[in-house]
Amino acid sequence: MPRQTHLFVMDPIGSVLVDKDSTFALMLEAQRRGHDVLYALGSDLHFREGRTYCLAQRATVQPVQGQHAQLSEPALIDVGDTDVVWMRKDPPFNMDYIFNTYLLDLAETGGRTLVVNKPSGLRDMNEKVWAMRFGDVIPESLVSQDMARIRAFVDRIGHAVVKPLDGNGGEGVFVVRRDDPNIGVIIETSTGHGRTKVLAQRYLPEAKQGDKRIILVDGEPVGGILRVPQGVDHRGNIHVGATVEKGELNDRDHEICAVIGPHLREHRQVFVGIDVIGGWLTEVNVTSPTGIHEVDAYYGISVAGLLHDAVAARLDAR
């Protein structure tokens, strides 16, 4: 098998934490398999005369913080000459992110390069809204910017969360009850006075026991972690202090994965993290899921190894 080139499009590698960062785990595994590891920033992707290019640096990586990446001088490469592109740029999911997915689509047209996750899926699968099509596994939900409609939804179900469609890390996630004196303010603030769509959703009391993040590799669940809210904060996000423990997968979790897994596979979303609260799917993260180190530790597996296996199988199947 000829030596493969794996290009990692990501945020600056200098600020990576070697024992936390999932992209870094994927780079280490690429190197371990004997692939050439290239590193580039999304901001340098460009397209000219039929080809997608970027300045890339060859990276030699080791799990030693501060000396974790030895980089060559930057050189202009044709992205379509690489075998695999790992699109691992973190949100914000903004127009620049979307423009990069267009250029990565073009890089695939030569027929050699496999981009994971597939750029069209990165664009289309909004982490909150894409899940809405799976009515049997999501909590009762409303996507709307109409303040009266949201108010009526909360009035009817009594206890809800209202959250932005493009948030992460728990930002902007409000809990609201029908008799909350702040209800009007919450709906005005979250919709920008009716200008932006939000997701209103039945409040799941099991959120107190934790928000389970399940990692799927090419549609198959491989493990999970449970993020447990701390103190009075209702949110199970590590960013706001939730603690992490092993997330065992139960029958319901497997059922949810069986519902969405084939769709993820079909859209070539190879590395995906879903959030499940009390047996209900609340979020599907495709853009730059994390959690490799934690799942490895709790399950005694190598998620990066499984991801590389899945990519290798896709290359072989061509």
Ligand X SMILES: Nc1ncnc2c1ncn2[C@@H]1O[C@H](COP(=O)(O)OP(=O)(O)O)[C@@H](O)[C@H]1O
Residues labelled catalytic: 128, 163, 213, 227, 235, 275, 283, 285
Q: Which does 229 bind (CB under 5 to 8 A by kind): ligand X, Mg ion, none?
A: ligand X
Among residues 171 and 188, whose Cβ is nearest to ligand X? 171
Least distance to Mg ion, CB of residue 301, Å: 22
Least distance to ligand X, CB of residue 201, Å: 4
Which residue bears the tokens 């899921």?
Answer: 289
Cα(204)–Cα(212) distance, integer angstroms: 13
Cα(136)–Cα(124) distance, integer angstroms: 21
Whether the Cβ atoms of residue 214 and residue 247 lie closer than 8 Å to each other: yes
Q: Which does 83 bind (CB under 5 to 8 A by kind): ligand X, Mg ion, none?
A: none
Nearest residue relative to Mg ion (C-beta):
275
Q: Which does 236 bind (CB under 5 to 8 A by kind): Mg ion, ligand X, none?
A: ligand X
Residues interacting with ligand X, by CB under 6 A? 139, 161, 163, 167-171, 173, 201-204, 207, 211, 229, 234-237, 275, 277, 282-283
In the numeric block, which tokens belong to residue 2?
């000829």
Least distance to ligand X, CB of residue 235, Å: 4
Among residues 107 and 215, whose Cβ is nearest to Mg ion? 215
DSSP readout, 85-139? EEE-PPPP-SHHHHHHHHHHHHHHTTSS-EEES-HHHHHH--TTTGGGG-TTTS-
Least distance to Mg ion, CB of residue 153, Å: 21
Least distance to ligand X, CB of residue 138, Å: 9
Beta-bridged to residue 61, according to DSSP, are 69
Whether the Cβ atoms of residue 194 and residue 145 lie closer than 8 Å to each other: yes
In the numeric block, which tokens belong to residue 26?
């994927």
By the rule CB under 5 A, 127 interacts with Mg ion: no
Candidates 297, 315, 296; CA nearest to 306 is 296
Among residues 236 and 291, whose Cβ is nearest to ligand X? 236
- Residue 122, amino acid: L
Q: Which residues, 268 to 297, sit near Mg ion by CB under 5 A?
A: 275, 283
Cα(260)–Cα(170) distance, integer angstroms: 23
Among residues 277 and 311, whose Cβ is nearest to Mg ion? 277
